[in-house]
């Protein structure tokens, strides 16, 4: 089989993964190749057990086109989402569906130094419990905050960076060198999720704001995630908007994150209660940062005036930062994603108010701001998508054992 044929076979599987199901005509258009050639490649992939017929598309007046999708159970992906307070791990199938419960591991304040061995052990355990053969694990995708050197697998700002430990090397050694491992900044993966399956699907130019324990940004330019010269583009939370002498995790002061991250929101809510503010959280005693944030968000959802005011204030600050982004990128769409979307529309009004006050009307009037439909799952979906983004470098189509096992499973 020629290198070109292998290339287009991989492209077809990649396109089916991100689109769920496509016709031969759609695949022909997407690949710029003739329908006879695409049909031949489809038939090869069906014969080998990689893809299957999955019904018909709605009729547009003529014969209904036959749709194709990836064969169920042909491969699985390990998705890992790491943030400042926990690790979440899940297994997704070839249709991008969760086939395991999300395994969550809480991180202690000193947990960074133990993350690598802990991560490898937990991935091994979730595979073992699932009963899925390692031969069917296509790869591991890991998203985490910080400045990521994706080539060497090193996080330059998080995960005990002074050691220069390779996250990729550590996980691969634990799982076996035949399972590929990929890492990327969490906000870029959240944006990838939104671009492939969420509110930004089909968008050529847009921004995805990741509202979480920190604040991040994914930039969509030309229908792709823009990463910048060294891959570090999108450090939205570290725009210096304040003269507040509050030290940020980056080592600087006055960053947007110091006034608007969910950790800051939660701490401000509790400080207000201690200073006499009335709230349904008055008797709350959360023992972890994660539980504190969750209780504050839950209180806002239940209509607690105090927490809504704190979140609204943070939303205004985020909107001020977004007005800067609008001036720089002139986006068509801005999607608010991440854990913060748990509180739904509470963020929207103050963000829009800040944009109205600080944005140039000619630039901001046509920008659509939407709340993510993916929410907190966006990071895990993006981690799985990261593996498929690198599918052309994987060897699935060359694994005879995988093909054989798929036919008998």
For residue 106, give its domain range.
76-189+379-408
The CATH number given to whatever domain includes residue 173 is 3.30.420.40
- Provide the pLDDT confidence category of residue 139 given band limits of 50, 70 and 90: very high
Asked if the structure places residue 337 within a domain, the reply is yes
- Provide the pLDDT confidence category of residue 352 given band limits of 50, 70 and 90: very high
Are 211 and 340 in the same domain? yes
Angle separating helix axes 186-196 and 378-389, nearest 10 degrees: 80
Asked if the structure places residue 349 within a domain, the reply is yes
Are 34 and 178 in the same domain? no
Are 230 and 365 in the same domain? yes
**Residue-wise over 60-87: b if at least 16 C-beta within 10 A, else e?**
eeeeebebbbbbebbbbbbbbbbbbbbb
Higher pLDDT, 351 or 394: 351
Per-residue confidence (pLDDT) for residue 403, from 0 to 100: 42
CB 370 within 8 A of CB 198: no
pTM over 0.95, yes/no: no
- Provide the pLDDT confidence category of residue 407 given band limits of 50, 70 and 90: very low
* Ordered strands of the 205-211 beta sheet: 224-226, 215-221, 205-211, 333-337, 368-371
CB 281 within 8 A of CB 299: yes
Per-residue confidence (pLDDT) for residue 398, from 0 to 100: 65
Are 180 and 211 in the same domain? no
Strand-pair partners of 220: 206, 225
CB 42 within 8 A of CB 13: no
Are 218 and 291 in the same domain? yes
**Which pairs from 100-109 meet CB under 8 Å and 24+ separation?**
100/126, 100/129, 100/130, 102/380, 106/288, 106/290
CA–CA dist 146, 263 (Å, integer): 16
Asked if the structure places residue 7 within a domain, the reply is yes
Per-residue confidence (pLDDT) for residue 405, from 0 to 100: 39
From 21, 39, 70, the end of a domain falls on 70
CB atoms within 10 A of CB 129: 12
Token pair 């003529």 is at which residue? Answer: 62
Asked if the structure places residue 16 within a domain, the reply is yes
CB 30 within 8 A of CB 16: no
Asked if the structure places residue 194 within a domain, the reply is no
Token pair 């189509």 is at which residue? Answer: 397
- Provide the pLDDT confidence category of residue 397 given band limits of 50, 70 and 90: low
Are 368 and 383 in the same domain? no
Are 209 and 317 in the same domain? yes
Are 105 and 247 in the same domain? no
Are 262 and 398 in the same domain? no
Asked if the structure places residue 332 within a domain, the reply is yes
Are 285 and 349 in the same domain? yes
From 13, 43, 70, the end of a domain falls on 70
Among the listed residues 55, 40, 41, the one whose alpha carbon sits nearest the alpha carbon of residue 8: 41
Tell whether the model's pLDDT for residue 130 goes beyond 90: yes
Asked if the structure places residue 212 within a domain, the reply is yes
Angle separating helix axes 3-19 and 35-47, nearest 10 degrees: 80
Per-residue confidence (pLDDT) for residue 349, from 0 to 100: 95
Are 243 and 274 in the same domain? yes
Are 95 and 165 in the same domain? yes
From 70, 91, 118, the end of a domain falls on 70
Per-residue confidence (pLDDT) for residue 62, from 0 to 100: 72
Asked if the structure places residue 195 within a domain, the reply is no
Half-sphere exposure of residue 283, counting CA atoms within 13 Å on the CB side?
1
Q: How many domains does the chain have?
A: 3
CA–CA dist 104, 119 (Å, integer): 11
């Amino acid at each position: 089989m020629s290198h070109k044929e292998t290339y287009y076979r991989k492209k077809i599987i990649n396109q089916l993964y991100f689109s769920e199901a496509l016709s031969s005509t759609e695949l022909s258009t997407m690949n710029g190749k003739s329908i006879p050639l695409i049909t031949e490649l489809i038939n090869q992939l069906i014969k080998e057990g990689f893809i299957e017929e999955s019904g018909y598309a709605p009729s547009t007046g003529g014969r209904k086109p036959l749709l194709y999708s990836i064969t169920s159970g042909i491969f699985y992906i390990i998705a890992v989402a790491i943030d400042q307070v926990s690790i979440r791990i899940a297994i997704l199938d070839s249709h991008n569906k969760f086939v395991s419960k999300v395994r969550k591991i809480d991180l202690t304040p000193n947990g960074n130094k133990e993350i690598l061995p802990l991560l490898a052990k937990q991935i091994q355990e979730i595979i073992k419990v699932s009963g899925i053969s390692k031969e069917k694990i296509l790869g591991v995708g890991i998203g985490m905050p910080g400045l990521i050197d994706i080539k060497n697998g090193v996080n330059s700002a998080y995960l005990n960076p002074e050691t220069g430990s390779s996250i990729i090397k550590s996980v691969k050694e634990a799982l076996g060198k035949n399972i590929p491992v990929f890492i990327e900044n969490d906000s870029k993966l959240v944006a990838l999720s939104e671009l492939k399956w969420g509110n930004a699907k089909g968008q050529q130019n847009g921004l995805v704001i990741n509202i979480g324990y920190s604040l991040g940004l994914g930039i969509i330019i030309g229908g792709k995630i823009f990463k910048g010269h060294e891959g570090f583009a999108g450090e939205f939370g570290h725009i210096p908007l304040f003269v507040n002498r509050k030290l940020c995790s980056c080592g600087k002061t006055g960053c947007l994150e110091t006034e608007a991250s969910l950790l800051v929101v939660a701490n401000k809510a509790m400080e207000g209660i201690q200073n006499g503010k009335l709230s349904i959280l008055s008797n709350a005693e959360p023992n972890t940062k994660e539980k504190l944030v969750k209780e504050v968000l839950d209180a806002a959802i239940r209509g607690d005036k105090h927490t809504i005011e704190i979140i609204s204030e943070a939303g205004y600050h985020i909107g001020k930062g977004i007005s800067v982004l609008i001036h720089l990128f002139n986006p068509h769409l801005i999607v608010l994603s991440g854990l913060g979307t748990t509180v739904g529309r509470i963020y929207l009004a103050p963000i829009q108010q800040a944009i109205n006050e600080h944005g140039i009307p000619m630039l901001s009037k046509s920008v659509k701001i939407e709340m993510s439909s993916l929410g907190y799952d966006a990071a895990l979906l993006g981690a799985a998508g990261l593996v498929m983004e690198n599918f052309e470098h994987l060897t699935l189509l060359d694994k005879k054992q995988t093909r054989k096992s798929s036919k008998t499973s």
